[in-house]
Every structure is written in structure tokens, then in C-alpha cells.
Structure 1
């Protein structure tokens, strides 16, 4: 009791002195959102570039605002006012009123001292139009490496605006080649905004205007506290480290965490079956498994045979243990669960993606004949790395594919270190592709130009100016040691012209501002892959999140492509009856 009284007194004294102290090292999780992360994969946040760590991309919503923020309600995706307010849209001129009283997190001094976080007012720094100018310039310079570039460039070719006027209103001139509705406009302007004094290529960013500001690290925990300039309800967000994701469900049961953004195998957890203690919510998949073939070691004939040999239906049945007492059941945000078939993929564009759902491409699902095993090596050697995300799932796939009853003993999968993957001593590599979007902004660079490194997300993207002054892809972008497929254009491969065409198509898809052009490129790329057999596109991983009933179920909405943390400021603790 004495300690409690002392704590209250200290808090009151802090408030009167211009500082607020938050006690966050308590054993109970009251007024905290505690999320696990893998200890050796601290999230490094860049709101405009995808990360190799899925949690980092989700934290964009915690720290940063756009002019409008993507959100969710029980009915679907919505866009809410953040740093801007839509005033009018006439003749492709979009008028936005900026919100001038939004403070950057740098307006506060934050420190962790022993058992408390202190938050003190510093010099107020407000969001201004200059910050928006800087952000648009950064996105433009990042080019097609940034999903935001692809989104903004289709609407605002000059990446600029006029104003603000005396009322704080700025004007964008949108392209006139399509009809823009309110949701389209707000989606284009939902990119996260950085302050103008930011470095343009910093290794990470943390100064935003979002609902929470980063307080710092202590004992490998990463702490965020709600911004005084925002209306978040829960006081703290805490990222807590663990060796891997295999114990996450147990940690939730033991009350060491209260929020689990993904479950092993994307499956409903038997450990967390008590509905009085936990509830779950599903959303659209953002990860799929694939096997990329090494084109230096396997000819197109061998790759076609291997694609026929690897039956994704058999592998998925084994993965989810379908039809056994240990079956891993899955939920479905659209309706009834155990909808496994919906997760099977037959193209590099997953079945849940815009390009398949809208029948822009129609994948070939049926194999016309049996594989010609005589053309394959006696043993097809596949490698993967189990030291990063999706460790448990990849390990299960390794075990399944090594079972001789599944693929006749013709496949051997080895778990190796990351540096071994870089050497390319494999016939194929098993990977988890995370963070993909189900709308038209699908990221093909993540497949074809990502360097063969499980730990770091780095793209080997080179462009140049052609004789007509147009930016085009440079052939240096395809080098054998710079992509998982080992594709290079300085070889004597009979497929060299096809690979050159693939590179041009991929760049065309990623860089075009026209949705219609994206659709055409998607068809070309899919048709080329059907002929070249570049990989096996296995299946997507269901997305399922668990929460402690410490929280009010009705205040947490996950839906479609909305980030799992896009409504975090609205989460509330359940009121005791």
C-alpha cells in the first residue's frame, strides 16, 4: 500500500513539474499492449520501404500518420482523417486542408529510468506543408522500390502540390485518365509522412505524429507510449523478445504477452481454446510459401518436371495435417473455417491477390501429364534457412518434403545457415514471402530482385536513362549472386532472351502508373513463368491473431488489407462487470 501511495505521489509531482512518469515494468499487463518479437530480429521501421521483418511494417501504423490513415471497421476498409481533411474534388483538383496543430514526437523528451518512462515537454514542432513536400520527394526518389511510389505516381505525376493558402488548404492535380472516388483519393494520400529534417536514407525512422511514440529499449524490450497529442486509449505498447515464434501461444497463455499477431501455421490454437480468456480474429493472408528454382543448375525441361512433381495439394494437406486427429484448423474472416483450398496457389500471384480474384490472370491448376522423372537429378537438393521468421512453419515443410512417401524420395531439403544460401549451392530454395498486398500493388521485386539473404531485405535494382531520355531497367539488376533464382544476363544460357524479357516485364509492372498496364504485364509475366517454370508456388499462410480478453473484442477490427495495427489507438480494455 505504501509503495502504491508513493507511486501516485511521484506521478503527481511529475505532472506538476512538466513531466509525466509511466510505470511499465509491472508484472501485470494492465494498460499495455504486449506483442512478441524474435530477439535477433529487432524491427527497423521505414514507412516507405518493405521490411524483411513483418512486424516492422505493421509498426508503421503505430508511429506515423498519412494525410489519411487506412483503418477498418466490421464492414471493411475505411480511410480516416489524419494530417489532412478532404475539402473538395473538382475537375481532378483535390483540395486538402492540413491540420496544423499536430505535433511531431520530437516535441517530447522521453527517457527510461529504472522502472519508469518519463515524458517531458520539449520545444513544440508542428506538422507543416514542408514535411509533406519532403515526404513526396523521398517517395519519388525511392522510385518503384517503394509501394507508395507506385500508388502516388498513378495519381500525381509531379509528386507535388500548390499552397497552402491562408486557410491551410493545399491542392493536388490528379491525373484525368480515370474517375477518382473519395476512397481512391484517400488511399493515394495514405502514405506515411516524415518530418522535413529527416535523413532521406536513414537506416530507420521513429519520429512521427502517430498514436504512439517510441520511448526506447530496456532489457531488449522495446517501449512505446501514447502521444499526448493523440487520442490512443491504451497507455503503452511493448515489444517483448523471444527466441522464436514456437512458444508464442504458450507465452500468451502464461500472460507474458496479451497480443499475438500471428499463430504458428496460421492455425487455431488448441492451447488458447478457452474463450473466457482469449479471442481470435482472422484477416487476409500476407505470406505465402514458394520454391524458387536455380536456373543455373536446372534446365527448363528439368524445372517443368520438378514443378509437376511438387504437388502443392499434398504438401498443404501434410502441413495442416488434414484428415488426422492432429488437424490444424483455420479460421476465415469471410465465413466458415477450414477453407484450405482457398490458400492453394498456382501462380506467383497468390489466389487471394487482386490479379487472380479479378481474373486478370487465370492460373493453370491442372497438370496435364505425369512428370518425366528421368530428366531430374537423382536427388533434387533444396535449401532453406530456419533462423528467421516462419521458422516453425519452414521446419515443418522441410520434414514433410523429406518424407519419401510424399515425393518418392526424389527431394532432399536441408536447413542451412544464411551465408550458405548466398553461395547458391542448391537446385532450389524454399522461402516464405511475407508482407504481400492483395490489391494491385503486388511486389514482384520481392521475388525476383531481392538478394539471396534471409536476414536482410535488400534489392538489386539498377536503372539507367536510355537514348530517348526514358528511365529503363539496367541488365545489372539480374546477376546470379543477387537473386534467389540465380538468373544472370551475362551468360550463354539459351534462355537469356527470355530472362531479359522477364526483367523488362517485372520493371514495367512495378514502375507503370497505369492499372491497365499493370494488368497486361501481370498476364505477360504469368504466361512467361508458365513456360519457364521458375518455381513452385505452394500456398498462402492464413492470418490469425489472438488477444487476451483483457481487451474488449468489439474495439479491435481486422479486415482485408488493413494493417493489423491500423486501429490500435481505438483498442480498449474490457470493462469489468
Structure 2
């Protein structure tokens, strides 16, 4: 035993001063701060390289908006927002970075600092990306124009926010938290690596070795020097790699569950945050009529599915733990509405979902219901398990035929219903419904099909063309049918909900949406996925904060090692 202990001590890898995060080798992260990517780690790495005028950061009790490239000065009236630009911030291109294994040399070259030109370039890029970018959806609903006045002699600029809302400071900072690129960047580069954030990109020592690495920015106060990404064949080995000290951070576990091989509290600690992913089966409205959709919703019992998903009550049970310390509280993750149970609208009882759905009338359903999913992007293991459950003839009276299909098949709409994981939802009142009902059914490209027009009162409203058939539910407002009027009402309520910033209006629209969705039966909302991350006890647990809508890496520059 003594020899084994000595061997373990000498052979374990020294990861001191390194944050080492795994990724799947054939799914290398692509970093673009304005476009979502189908590799989840890509979007998380935005926090390593880039800053916004304000940065969303996690705390033990919520999120805060910290000054980044800007400082909030004042709001004049209800719409003129004054921001002071931080002209002392240096772009990463102010430094020359060379590397030889762990020897990284950073030398200062020609200083390049942040300016209004960079902000204008970034706004122009987001505007041109349009609904491909989530930032576009947020900014376009807030700003009068895609520009600002100034800067003046104090480096202060003025944004004109839309005056039909009562803007709070945190709401303004949220709108202005989009990441900023230098003005000489390409508008449509394959990826981006120059920012002002806490870490610099390290060039590969040799061209074939293009594994992403980052080194602390001399101008920032990052506690640890290195952020390294490490490739592996697939994610099934990630927990073993953590156990073998090849990595020291695991940002997500399969099924959001506790790992049975990482139970040693002396070697690992966990951090949970509020769920940001939920599973839903969305119905193809061009293949299933409203009566069939209503009965299919009853047939897909979310508790039965979740119990099987986590193997509850069996020796193979997948255990879970939430950020409050509750264990195996599976029922807390069940959803009964398009608004997840963890969302503000359900927790505050703005929306009261119907929990009892009744017994399905199988006679109105087709003999076979084709439910599809694609396993070529995120959540491969979870999708595989869900498809196996849906294919269990003993659970759904043999009505369901579930299959893994290509992304092209989904784009063509060749399904009765589609199983989707909705990622990145917020539990705050800013819940994003466009991701569910207006997203192009294409997992390779993120695009929201929102079209607006001006009505007779001069108000911007959602145009019927927003429902063009290119969405997961295949809703097409150009088709004549019994549901068309309710589809347009649902679209009106959805746009009102997304556009309004008055909390009372948002609450009212949430109620309208819930009522209309219950009538239309657009989907079965199953359950949210717990969020659990593992860390080596090399780190000081108190220095790592995770919370809800903030990125898991929002405080990465503050992570530090234990000093005992």
C-alpha cells in the first residue's frame, strides 16, 4: 500500500497554476462572442477573452453587472443613457505572446486601447448578423438606433433607449453586456481571439498542435496563469480523466448527475447552479391537429419519463444535487408549462400550470407517432437515453416510434414531433420564448425568424410572416386552418412578452401565453436538466461562483488555488 501511495504521489500530474478543461477532440470550440455554437464550451470561453461595456458575473446569491469597458453614469429622462468608456483598457494585440511548452513569454508591443470605434464596429456587426445573434434580439428591442452620440471630452457617450419602457439600471447593463471586438477585426471571421478579457490566446508551439491555450493578461488581475483545453475522444471518459488528474475542471456531467467515481471530498468538490436547460417534445402542427396534440401531451407523462431517465428507485439510480444542497429532488425539475418550474413566472405564481392532464384518448391519435432528435450536437448521451425511453412500448401503448435523425431531416420537417433540449434559458423575468417557437429548425445555425411591422397605431408588432413554417412546431400563419387565429394571437402575446420591460405587462402577457399555449397544445414540456460541475480541491472552493444566468466561467479570473 505504501508503494502504491508513493507511486500515486509521484505520477500524478502537477496542474498547479493551470485551469484544465476537457473537450471532445472532433468538437473543437469555435469562439465567436456574438454567435452561439453547437459546442457548449465555445460560448463559455467568451468570458476568458472578451468583455462588454458591462460584464455579468456570478455571486453566491445572484448575478451582478460589473464595469467592463464602460461605466454607468446616469439616465436622463427615461431614455438617454450616459456611459463613460474605459479608454485605458488594452486590446490583447498590444502584446506579443510566444510559447515553448509551459514557458510563455509576453512582451508589450504597440499599445492599442479601447475606443468608440471598437464599440461602433461591434454594434454594426451585431446589426448585420441580425436574428442569427441572440445579442441582436436583445439590443434591437432596447435601442432607438444602432449608434450613440459622442464621446465628449470626458469620454462619455449617450445611448438612446426606447422611451416606451421604464428602464432600470441593471436592465440597461444587461442590454450593454454584449462582448466587444476591436474595430479592425473581420466582420465574418471563422473565430475571434483578440479581446480585452483576463486571458490572452497562446499561439501553438507548432502548427499541428492547435489545442487552445490561454495565458493571463498582464493588464488584468487573473489569479491563475493558464487556462488549458484538453481534447479527448468523447465525453464518456471525462470523469476518469478528472480522477486521473489529467484535468481539474468538469463543467458538466452526463444527465447533470452526481458521478459515482468522484465521491472523495478530499479530492473534489461540486458546484451546482440553477438549471438552464430543459427538455421538451414540440409537436408538428402541420401533421397533428389540435385534438391529437392535446392527447399526445397527456400520453407523454413527464414523471414517468424522468423516473426512467434517472433510474429512480433502482440500484443504478442517477443521483442529483441542487445548488441549495437538496439531493434527489427529481420532482422539483418537472415542468408543466412552457415556463419551467424554476422560472420566475411559475415560482411567483404568475402562471399556474395544469399539473393533472387526465387520461389520453388513444383513439384520436395516429397508429404511430414519429418523434425525432439529432444526436450530432450537444447532449448526445441524454438524447440517446430519452429516445430509448420513448421507444419503450410498455410506456406509451406502443404509439411512439422515436428515432435519431440527421440535422437535414429536421430541417425538412420530417417528423410528427421533435425532442429538443432548450439551452441557456433564464429563470428571471427575461425568459426567452423566441428560442422555442421562432428558432429555425437547424442545429448547425442559430437563427430567429422574427419579422416586425408597424400597425395602424404606429406600434412595432410581430408580423404574421414570423410564423413561416420554419420553426420546430412548423407553425405557418399563411396556411388557412382552424388554429390560424390562435397562432396569430399566440404570436402577438409572445412578441408583447418579449418586447415589454414593464414587469406588470410581462406578467400579464405570461398569463395570456400560458392560456393560449394550453389551448393550442404546442408541446409537452418534460423536465429541466440539473447543472452540476466538478472541481479539483486544488482550487479554493470559495473563489468559484456559479449562479443561474451567469456563464460558468464568469468569475474565472477570480479562481485561485488553496493556500493551506
TM range, smaller chain: 0.7 to 0.9
* DSSP-derived class of the 1:249 partner: helix
Checking the alignment, whether the CA contact within 8 Å between 2:72 and 2:83 is kept in structure 1 is: yes
Change beyond 3 A, Cα 1:444–1:243? farther
CA distance in 2 between partners of 1:170 and 1:142 (Å): 24
TM-score (norm 2): 0.88
1:572 Cα deviation from its structure 2 partner = 1.0
Does the CA contact (< 8 Å) of 1:150 and 1:513 recur in 2? Answer: no
Match of 2:274 among 281, 284, 288: 284
Contiguous gaps of at least 5 residues in structure 2: 1-11
2:369 is the alignment partner of 1:380: yes
Farther-moved stretch of structure 1 (136-145 vs 244-253): 136-145
Aligned CA-pair RMSD: 3.0
Q: Secondary structure at the match of 1:133?
A: helix
Residue 213 (structure 1) aligned with residue 200 (structure 2): yes
Match of residue 405, structure 1, among 380, 387, 394: 394
Q: CA–CA distance in 2 between the matches of 1:565 and 1:546?
A: 13
After superposing the two structures, state which structure 1 stretch, 136-145 or 190-199, moved more: 136-145
DSSP-derived class of the 1:407 partner = coil
Three-state SS of the structure 2 residue aligned to 1:405 is coil
Which residue number in structure 1 is paired with residue 181 of structure 2?
A: 194
Q: Any idea what the Cα deviations from partners look like across 1:329-358, whole Å, max 9, x if unmatched?
A: 211213422222221111122111222223
The answer to which of 29-38 and 498-507 deviates more is: 498-507
- Work out the CA distance in 1 between the residues paired with 2:225 and 2:446: 32
Equivalent residue in structure 2 for 1:501, among 489, 498, 502: 489
Q: Does 1:363 align with 2:363?
A: no
- Give the deviation of 1:497 after TM superposition: 3.0
C-alpha distance 74-489 of structure 1, shift in aligned 2 (>3 A): closer
Matched-pair contact (CA < 8 Å) for 2:433–2:498:
yes
Cα 1:195/1:545, change in 2 over 3 Å? same
TM-fit CA distance, 1:471: 5.2
Match of 2:411?
A: 422
Q: Which residue of 2 aligns with 1:569?
A: 557
Return the alpha-carbon distance in structure 2 between the equivalents of residues 199 and 475 of structure 1.
Answer: 35
CA distance in 2, matches of 1:196, 1:488: 40
User: Is the contact between residue 53 and residue 389 of structure 1 (CA under 8 Å) also seen in structure 2?
Assistant: yes
Provide the residue aligned with 1:42 in structure 2.
28
The residue that corresponds to 1:236 in the other structure is: 226
How far is the alpha carbon of 1:54 from its aligned partner? 2.4
Give the direction of change, closer, same or farther, for the CA distance of 1:383–1:89 in structure 2 (3 Å limit): closer
Aligned residues: 549
| Residue 125, structure 1, aligned to residue 117, structure 2 | no
| Contact kept in structure 2, 1:150 and 1:441, CA below 8 Å | no
The CA deviation at 1:247 is: 2.3
Query: After the TM superposition, which of the residue ranges 326-335 and 79-88 deviates more from structure 2?
Result: 79-88
Stretch deviating more after TM superposition (210-219 or 411-420):
210-219
Unaligned 5+ segments in structure 1 are 1-25
Q: Is the 1:100–1:128 contact (alpha carbons within 8 Å) kept by the matching residues of 2?
A: yes
Name which of structure 1's ranges 458-467 and 282-291 shifts more when overlaid on structure 2. Answer: 458-467
Provide the rounded CA distance (Å) in 1 between the counterparts of 2:406 and 2:265: 40
TM-score between the two structures when normalised by the length of structure 1: 0.86
Q: Which piece of structure 1 moves more, 280-289 or 436-445? A: 436-445
Bigger shift: residues 377-386 or 151-160 = 151-160
Match of 2:3 in 1: none
Q: Which moves more between the two structures, 277-286 or 449-458?
A: 449-458
> 1:489 — aligned with what?
477
Q: Counterpart of 2:5? A: none
